[in-house]
Amino acid sequence: MTPIELAYRKTAVEGASGIGLLIALYDTLAGDLRRAADAERSNDLEERTKEVNHALLVVAYLEEYAERGSGGKLADHLVAFYKSLRRKMIEAQVKRSAELLQEQMVQVLTVREVWQRFEPDGSSFSPEAQEWDRSAVYPNAPPVRHEHSASGWSA
């Protein structure tokens, strides 16, 4: 992680609302997946494993948080998304697929953008605002396509 990314995360967490903290976790998860994909492309299995393991911890935390909440359809969809994400990360490791890791990063960034619309301070993404420029933090990220995936997740 670069010093700029660390400073961004520290600043985001220090003054963040609950949703802001959730967004920071999604940023962490997307960064883990990007670094894991890069490590896979470089044939650095130790680094890939380290990044995927950290990503799995973040997913477990997010899943547990969703399950502890008030429940409902949103929680059910999130838990299903996290379970699918975990399966795909493990599949990517078994298949040694940087592309599959990259696809999961795009899914995480898509969900992150949905959460960002609900940021209470009004300074984050809204339908009227410009789309968040994730290329500054995730330079290798492909553009997010705003279409529903087969997982059926929606907010």
**Sign, CA torsion 29/30/35/38:** positive
72 in any annotated domain: yes
Structural domain that includes position 95: 3-136
**CATH label of the domain that carries residue 44:** 1.20.120.340
pLDDT confidence of residue 71: 73
DSSP letter string, 94-125: HHT-HHHHHHHHHHHHHHHHHHHTT-TTS-S-
Structural domains counted in the chain: 1
142 in any annotated domain: no
Could you tell me which residue, 107 or 4, shows the higher pLDDT? Answer: 107
Q: What is the pLDDT of residues 9-26, one digit of tens each?
A: 565 555 556 888 889 999
pLDDT confidence of residue 15: 55
d(CA 87, CA 83): 6
103 in any annotated domain: yes
Q: What is the pLDDT of residues 63-119, one digit of tens each?
A: 998 888 667 888 999 999 999 999 999 999 999 999 999 999 999 999 999 999 887
Q: Cα–Cα distances in Å, from 150 out to 60, 130, 154?
A: 22, 27, 11
Angle at alpha carbon of residue 69, lines to 131 and 82, rounded to 5° = 55
Tokens of 34: 């990007």
78 in any annotated domain: yes
39 in any annotated domain: yes
